[in-house]
Structure 1
Amino acid sequence: MPVILGIESSCDETSAAICADGIMLSNIIANQTIHEKYGGVVPELASRVHQQNIIPAVQQAIFNAKINKNDIDAVAFTRGPGLLGSLLVGVSFAKAFALAQNIPLIDINHMQAHVLAHFIGDHKPEFPFLCLTVSGGHTQIVLVKDYFDMEIIGQTQDDAAGEALDKTSKVLGLPYPGGPLIDKYARLGNPNAYHFPEPQIPGYDFSFSGLKTAILYFIRDNEKLNPDFKEEHMADICASVEKRITTILLNKLKKAAKDYGVNAIALAGGVSANTGLRQGIQQLADEQGWKSFIPAFQYCTDNAGMIAIAGYHKYLKGEFVSQEVAPLARMPF
């Protein structure tokens, strides 16, 4: 029964988790509020706060799992992609812990781990399946043939869907992080109040830069006529933006599922916590007769649980790395 310590530090969440024989025993996430006043993640500050948080997070994960450090058989850590300074903290800690305990190291691709979060718990997909992975930095459709046999068949050509939500929140004057606030306002608004364009990108790829510009001009032009336009129509704007981003994502996913003959679909990444997207993919699955899979909320955003479960499956294959391993800001999929 291998016990895996997972470490995640790719951006601004410091997270540690314990997985025993594929069962998650704990998943601790320490968020960083220091970035709120800057309206986004400041890389240098993020790495400093990781240094403060990582030992308490690991200690709490071990305590919650009701084990001690000598029970741990391997350390799995996010090697990339991510912010280099943030990654360096997690990688350095993982290497030091593994060296002190004389246990192996397992490097994990952050984006693959988002996909493998679906193997936490009882409701697991069977291979092959399609995974729509949506975050602030990535938007991908992944054909998952096995635990580590994955093929990106579609991805954004410019901005990610999460970035479009973040930019919209800034234009609307919402505090950081704005994604959850857009979700909250959207629940109160009319998604058909305003129409935003859908980019015509061939194949399964995405583009959100044009949509970001369209939203910016829409709000600017309406504010010329009514300076209070944003405040008076906040819920309808958020609902309409959320609907357009959701339809862009689901239309591509529907096309990919049809072309590849896959009837099992999954949703992953930080934006998979968005209520509208979760409801939209479930509705589409019901219409198409698909099996759908969406992780619990704690495994949607960046977390060490997904790193630990990915590490568990690599441990079973005996895939370890040496102490010479280094973080990668851009890591091949």
Structure 2
Amino acid sequence: MQKDTIIMAFESSCDETSVAVIKNGKEIMSNIIATQIKSHQRFGGVVPEVASRHHVEQITYCIDLAMEEANVTYDDLDAVAVTYGPGLVGSLLIGIMAAKTIAFAHNLPLIPVNHLAGHIYSAQFVTDLQYPFMSLLVSGGHTEIVLVKAPGEFETLGDTRDDAVGEAYDKIGRVLGLQYPAGKTVDQMSAKGNDVYDFPRAMVKEDNLDFSFSGIKSAFINKVHNAEQKNEELNQNDLAASFQAAVLDILSNKLFRAVEKNPVKQIVVAGGVAANQGLRNRLAKDIKDKNLDIELVFPPLRLCGDNAAMIGAIAQIQYEKGDFSGLDLNSDPSLDF
């Protein structure tokens, strides 16, 4: 009988300090997440220096809690995995230093993980992945369409040329006077409104799979500011619904064009915006309307945001391939596939 592989994973790329213990890449023994949202809300976004300080304060506590909850000792571990990019350089370095320390002290291999790959492989906790599969990666920092050809083999088919989709939600949320992060509230408001303002669907007619959300954001802001100058009152739910309708049209258009060119049996939607109920409903409806034989996979809501369990999931594949790093591992804030 094959021995279980137990990996301790670290995620500290932005404003969540997370440590997990994962068995065989598919079983979450523990997944501790210390969030900093309340500290950043008063600034309307993540402040890198504040984030780094919180990571320093929380990291050892998260390690102890993760070990205790998983009921393991360091002797039980087979490897240590850590996000080394993309992300905020100061935040990444805290996780990297903690992972290096444990790897060195207990003579364990160190696995360098791409944060984006982690998001995609959070789907592994829901179902067995069938290769090749398509992934729509949507978060505060990224909007990409990625073809996953084989375990740990990625090809980026489309990327955002400006704002990421989650970033656009937060920026229009600020104009609506919503608290950061605004994505969930905009999603809830859009369910109560109608698409009456017809914001632009950028790049849907262009012969590529790239995205642009700065145009919709600007159109939204101009609409609100013009109304304020004329003392006109706009329906906030309709504004949210109109914005979300435009975003979903763009995401759906590009995703299904990618699937048309690269037939797959699964679509994995990952990243923080994968929690958006409007997006979940829209893609499920599109698959049904297009009569496609494709399984639509979303991670559990608790694994859509940044967490270390997803890092442990992809780390298992890298462990089996012997994809290790030396103790000179450094952060790569601009890392992509």
Contact residue 130 and residue 266 of structure 1 kept, 8 A: yes
* Matching residue of 2:158: 154
SS in 2 for 1:188: coil
Distance 1:255 1:318 in 2: 35
1:33-44 pair list within 5 angstroms = 33-44=38-49
CA shift, 1:321, in A, is 0.8
Q: Tell me which of 180, 201, 204 is aligned to 1:198.
A: 201
Distance 1:275 1:69 in 2: 40
Contact residue 82 and residue 96 of structure 2 kept, 8 A: yes
* Matching residue of 2:172: 168
Distance 1:18 1:219 in 2: 47
1:46 aligns with 2:51: yes
CA offsets per residue over residues 226-245 of structure 1, 9 Å max, x none? 3653xxx2222112211211
1:23-42 pair list within 5 angstroms = 23-32=27-36, 33-42=38-47
CA offsets per residue over residues 69-120 of structure 1, 9 Å max, x none? 3211111000001000000000000000111111110000011111111112
Distance 1:65 1:187 in 2: 39
Contact residue 143 and residue 159 of structure 2 kept, 8 A: yes
* Matching residue of 2:269: 267
Distance 1:245 1:172 in 2: 17
Distance 1:146 1:115 in 2: 13
* Matching residue of 1:17: 20
Contact residue 257 and residue 263 of structure 1 kept, 8 A: no
SS in 2 for 1:177: coil
Distance 2:231 2:74 in 1: 61
SS in 2 for 1:204: coil
Distance 2:241 2:272 in 1: 19
Distance 1:261 1:311 in 2: 27
CA offsets per residue over residues 4-37 of structure 1, 9 Å max, x none? 0110000001111111122111211111021111
Distance 2:67 2:243 in 1: 41
Distance 1:30 1:285 in 2: 36
SS in 2 for 1:137: coil
Contact residue 138 and residue 160 of structure 1 kept, 8 A: yes
TM-score, length-normalised on structure 1?
0.95
SS in 1 for 2:98: helix
Gaps of 5+ in 2: none
1:113 aligns with 2:118: yes
Q: Tell me which of 228, 235, 259 is aligned to 2:237.
A: 235
Contact residue 116 and residue 147 of structure 1 kept, 8 A: no
Distance 2:289 2:68 in 1: 44
Contact residue 79 and residue 110 of structure 2 kept, 8 A: yes
CA offsets per residue over residues 281-305 of structure 1, 9 Å max, x none? 1212222322211111121111101
Gaps of 5+ in 1: none
Q: Which amino acid aligns with 1:117?
A: S
Distance 2:19 2:335 in 1: 21
TM-score, length-normalised on structure 2?
0.94
